[in-house]
Amino acid sequence: NAGVTQTPKFRILKIGQSMTLQCTQDMNHNYMYWYRQDPGMGLKLIYYSVGAGITDKGEVPNGYNVSRSTTEDFPLRLELAAPSQTSVYFCASTKGGRDSAYEQYFGPGTRLTVT
């Protein structure tokens, strides 16, 4: 049981480039989330999904896109990377519902630098 996995661990992008951050969970969780963490700050929600085919914006969605074609995968797409997107990105998932208290399991994070 690997939990939540993210690839890559590190990436350096040039301004204007695009990339996809991969996230996979093997716990059959319906709910998945993408957060970003800027230096010395708490995490902020970018996008989330409550099930395959359903996605919605979080606090800071500009410059990002997501898709959820399967229960397991929730990739985050960065189009036209900007220095403001330099951050650590975390993917998380939860079973959802009162029994789980929406307790989220986090991946190890991806450190992205845009120069």
Partner 1 sequence: AQTVTQSQPEMSVQEAETVTLSCTYDTSENNYYLFWYKQPPSRQMILVIRQEAYKQQNATENRFSVNFQKAAKSFSLKISDSQLGDTAMYFCASTGSSNTGKLIFGQGTTLQVKP
Greatest C-alpha distance within the chain: 44
Q: Which is nearer to partner 1, 10 or 18 (CB)?
A: 10
Binders of partner 1 among 67-96, rule CB under 8 A?
88, 90, 92, 94, 96
Query: Which pair of structure tokens corresponds to residue 3?
Result: 């939990």
Binders of partner 1 among 20-49, rule CB under 8 A?
31, 33, 35, 40-45, 48
102 in contact with partner 1 (CB under 8 A): yes
**What is the rounded CA–CA span in Å between residue 31 and residue 78?**
21
Q: Which is nearer to partner 1, 1 or 40 (CB)?
A: 40
Minimum distance, C-beta of residue 16 to partner 1, in the bound complex (Å): 27
Sequence-distant (6+) residues with CB within 8 A of 87 are 36, 37, 38, 112
101 in contact with partner 1 (CB under 8 A): yes
Residues in the chain: 115
Answer whether 16's CB lies under 8 Å from 83's CB: no
Query: Which pair of structure tokens corresponds to residue 88?
Result: 């650590």
**Residues of the shown chain interacting with partner 1 in the complex, contacts defined by CB under 8 A:** 31, 33, 35, 40-45, 48, 50, 56, 58, 88, 90, 92, 94, 96, 98, 101-104, 106, 108-109
